[in-house]
Amino acid sequence: MPNNIAIAIGAHPDDIEFYMAGTLLQLKAAGWEIHYFNIANGSCGSQVYNARQARTIRRAEARRAAKVLGAHWHASLCDDLEIFYELKLLRRVAAVIREVRPNIILTHPPVDYMEDHTNTCRLVVTAAFAHAMPNFRSVPPRPTADYDTTIYHCVPHSMRDPLRRWVPSEIFVNTTAVLDQQCAALAEHKSQQAWLDATQGLASMADKVREVARAVGKQSKKFRFAEGWQRHLHYGFSAEEVDPLREALAKDYLLNPSYPQA
């Protein structure tokens, strides 16, 4: 039986809003229960506040953003730049996935511009792979269950890999109807506007989300605004034909006919 539960797992507070929240909102509109989980707490995302202050501020911002999305919020596990592919953190990520029991997991791509993103992806993939393995211990302990789960990777930052090569989308999800709500959730991360402006030349977070969504929508040749995804290989997660995002979103889901296939 499908659980009709989806979780978005980002590296830092605001990553979900930038890359995944449109699809998460579409799933909620389709009747799915949605969850919001950042592995790191945002401790390094400030040139004004010290790490302790930044943790407190960004935790509150993330909780407000999750409320705007209508998602269940899960507490972060570590500081920024401390997301490593290691056993202690893997056991804790596995505990969250076992508690939620999602059929859909939205997360970062295997290759992205910074290691917190790529390490988040590696942790999520392994933790999800172990969701039905009682001999792998999570911390805290959570019961395992045998069900289909499918991982979808968002497009990397700027839609390019770290060597500047273009990364195509396999799947387009129409986010036109939910874009305003996505931007409203992102606006809760008020502490980040000055930081992103100073470090990445990003003058407006909402404008950037709209710019990327418009570009991905243009690639789809169908949707005005969209998010792009790649579906993880099914081995160890589900049957080959399982694609719950397609089943849930129907008319707002489009496969890219030019995506490279074997």
164-177: pLDDT as tens digits: 999 999 999 999 99
Domain-embedded: residue 261: no
**What is the per-residue pLDDT for 205?**
83
pLDDT in tens, 34-93: 999 999 999 998 888 999 999 999 999 999 999 999 999 999 999 999 999 999 999 999
**pLDDT tier at 197, thresholds 50, 70, 90:** low
**pLDDT tier at 201, thresholds 50, 70, 90:** low
Domain-embedded: residue 262: no
Distance CA 82, CA 89 (A): 10
**What is the per-residue pLDDT for 190?**
87
Total domain count for the chain?
1
The structure's pTM equals: 0.95
Cross-strand pairs, 255 = 171
Opening angle at CA 23, ends 190 and 90, nearest 5: 80
**What is the per-residue pLDDT for 203?**
53
**What is the per-residue pLDDT for 262?**
61
Tokens found for residue 147? 């069900």
Residue type, 193: Q
pLDDT at 261 > cutoff 80: no
Domain-embedded: residue 260: no
Report the Cα 155 to chain-centroid distance in Å: 10
**What is the per-residue pLDDT for 172?**
98
Domain-embedded: residue 132: yes
What percent of the chain has a predicted confidence (pLDDT) above 90? 88
Domain of 32 in residue numbering reads as 5-255
CATH number of the domain to which 88 belongs: 3.40.50.10320
Q: Across residues 193-208, what is the average pLDDT?
A: 68
Cβ pair 38, 78 in contact under 8 A = no
Domain-embedded: residue 46: yes
pLDDT at 204 > cutoff 90: no
Q: How far is CA 171 from CA 92, 126, 151, 190, 257, in A?
A: 30, 23, 13, 31, 9
